[in-house]
Amino acid sequence: MPQHIASRPMRWSLLAAPIAGVLILAGCSAGTDDGGSTDDGAATGFSIMVAAANDADDYYAQLAAEYAEEAGIEIEVIPYPSDAYNTQVTTQLQAGNAADMMILSPGTGQPISVITLAEAGFLEPLDETSASLLPVGSEVQYQIDGETFAQPTALTPVGMVFNVTAGAEADIEYPETYDDLLAACTTARDAGKTFTVLAGGVPFNTGLFSQLISATRVYAETPDWNEQRAAGDVTFADSGWRDVLDDIVEMNDAGCFQDGAAGGTFDSITAGLGGGTSLTAAVPGSAAASISTATGSELNVQAFPPADGQDAFTLTGANYAWGINASSDDAVKASAQGFLDWAAEPENAQHFAEISGAVPITGIDAETLLPSYAPIGELLSSGSYTSIPNSSWPNPAVYDALGAGVQGLLTGQKTVDQVLDEMDAAWDQ
């Protein structure tokens, strides 16, 4: 099947789903006889599956379109809703009909994590150019026995994306401390808004929100907490992770989240943050740029407010990576690696960061940060951040226990003790 760039304009939508016509193109997968391959890898088209929280998340397609025009090939970009993406990737890889390339998560903590999939034989080893982009200290999240199995796309700060315009309507500035945050929740309610919109029915988002809080509650003081947990020196139950979950329960009781937050979806975030009915959401910082462009509102990226006696700390890292399907034919894999080599060139890495609302994988430079990152610019420049914690958790079950456990906290069906015990049990399994 001929490959092609989806050419329709990407629009801001309250439905976080691709058009149905794009979904059926998933059958155009690796290893087909009519996938556009030739003996010349440089002239071979390929397909890429990506996650899209909304129709404005078209930066992967933009980058692919630019390379396709320059290289004279056809590339098919296949978007899936973020809340279904992990299942689509793993199901299609296991069935042998996945795309030639896909966006993955580093490490071992999710079903689509690089090391997990590489150990299962699903990913093709990449070249030295890809290896040269790995952030120092993150090699174990991408490499096995010296071979590199994914190329990071960019550095992606994760924070509380704050709708400044909606905040001004409610006479709220972003709070400096956790106590200020609780007060802001009441003020927001009085103004007919909520402080935070949460996709409480999507474990990925409840887990991400929890990890953002953990930056100040756990990793600012104990940056090697994951290593200590692996050594058996600490547990979730007897550490700052208890403070993380206690904060979520307190925020829920204080009315910080939208009504029905336990059943919230990514659509809830799109509608609440984009529509200005909620002031913040815990999402990748790139959402600030895409929502600003789509709505005309001013948004920026903030760290979760520290508690008394704590310093501000945040999350950032190479949270997304390109991987090549090991079952694609050789010409397709060579062409896909050619695209990755091109994306690694400094000017292209900078361009991707600009269109995706991220930070170039080539490094953090305060002078080139997007304006939306100004509130956390000093934290990024000084290194006051940790990578996404679950990237180095030993298996996806730990993150599943966290994400599902937070939903149980929101509904009252679980206690903090239960969630922490389940996380410890999942780590030790």
In 330-410, DSSP assigns E strands to 385-386
Which pair of tokens denotes residue 283?
């999402």
Q: Rounded to whole angstroms, how far apart are CA atoms 283 and 302?
A: 11
Give the start-to-end residue ranges of the domains of the chain. Answer: 20-156+317-362, 158-315+371-428
Which residue, chain included where needed, has tokens 């399994």? 429
Confidence of residue 25 (pLDDT cuts 50, 70, 90): very low
Question: Is residue 249 classed exposed, middle or buried when 0-12, 13-18 and 19+ CB atoms within 10 A define those classes?
Answer: middle
Q: Rounded to whole angstroms, how far apart are CA atoms 316 and 407?
A: 24
Question: Is residue 413 classed exposed, middle or buried when 0-12, 13-18 and 19+ CB atoms within 10 A define those classes?
Answer: exposed
* Closest C-alpha to 197, from 287, 283, 281, 82: 281
Which residue, chain included where needed, has tokens 């509380």? 160
> Per-residue pLDDT for 295 more than 60?
yes
Which pair of tokens denotes residue 37?
């391959």
Q: What is the pLDDT of residue 136?
A: 81
* Fold (CATH) for 20-156+317-362: D-Maltodextrin-Binding Protein; domain 2 (3.40.190)
Confidence of residue 30 (pLDDT cuts 50, 70, 90): very low
Looking at domain 158-315+371-428, its CATH class is alpha beta
Q: Rounded to whole angstroms, how far apart are CA atoms 373 and 267?
A: 24
Quick one: average pLDDT of 372-390? 92
Confidence of residue 293 (pLDDT cuts 50, 70, 90): confident
> Per-residue pLDDT for 17 more than 60?
no
How long is the chain? 429
Which pair of tokens denotes residue 198?
């949460």
Beta-carbon neighbour count of residue 27 at 10 Å?
11
Q: What is the pLDDT of residue 286?
A: 86
* Closest C-alpha to 292, from 377, 204, 370: 370
Q: What is the pLDDT of residues 122-163, one digit of tens each?
A: 999 999 999 999 988 889 999 999 999 999 999 989 999 999
Which pair of tokens denotes residue 230?
């692996």
Q: How many helices (H) and strands (E) in the chain?
A: 17, 13
Cα distances from 80 to residues 20, 87, 190, 260, 323, in angstroms, run: 10, 10, 37, 25, 16
